[in-house]
Amino acid sequence: MLAGAAAELAAVITVAVTASTVRTAVAARYPAAVHAATVHQVLIYVSAPVAIGMWLWLAWANGRGEDWARMVSAACFGLLSLVMLGNLSQHAATYAPANMIAASIVWAVGLVSVVLIFTPAAGRYYRPQPVQP
């Protein structure tokens, strides 16, 4: 999960470096959508610290054996998958191929993380939640 935080940081840097190229590509094909592309980039800059913080927090919680952290990790991966599907449906790979590659790496790290924390070998490190009467 620490690799996820690093991949997320790399993805944000990729978005920052390619921002003008993406806006130019969008402007060439859909001039009216330049503002929407700019807003999308700003949203990435705003949400990136939250995403990096979530990666770090979940790494800490999973490292402590908190069982709820596995469920939250799976939910975050589901949300990440929905975002990737949305990006693909908006042809992000056409206008921002470097950004899609970076996002795909983040998605792949998320997939590996979720698969690994749900393996039987990892299951013995998680504390079961106490049953409430």
**Structural domain containing residue 34:** 2-123
**Any domain includes 79:** yes
Q: How many domains does the chain have?
A: 1
**Any domain includes 129:** no
**Any domain includes 128:** no
Q: Which H, E and C letters describe the chain, residue by residue? A: CHHHHHHHHHHHHHHHHHHHHHHHHHHHHCHHHHHHHHHHHHHHHHHHHHHHHHHHHHHHHHHCCEHHHHHHHHHHHHHHHHHHHHHHHCCHHHHCHHHHHHHHHHHHHHHHHHHHHCCHHHHCCCECCCCCC
**Any domain includes 133:** no
pLDDT tens for the chain, 133 residues: list them. 999 999 999 999 999 999 999 888 888 888 888 898 889 889 999 999 999 999 999 999 999 999 899 999 999 999 999 999 998 998 888 888 898 999 999 999 999 999 999 998 888 888 666 667 6
**Any domain includes 40:** yes
pTM (two decimals): 0.86
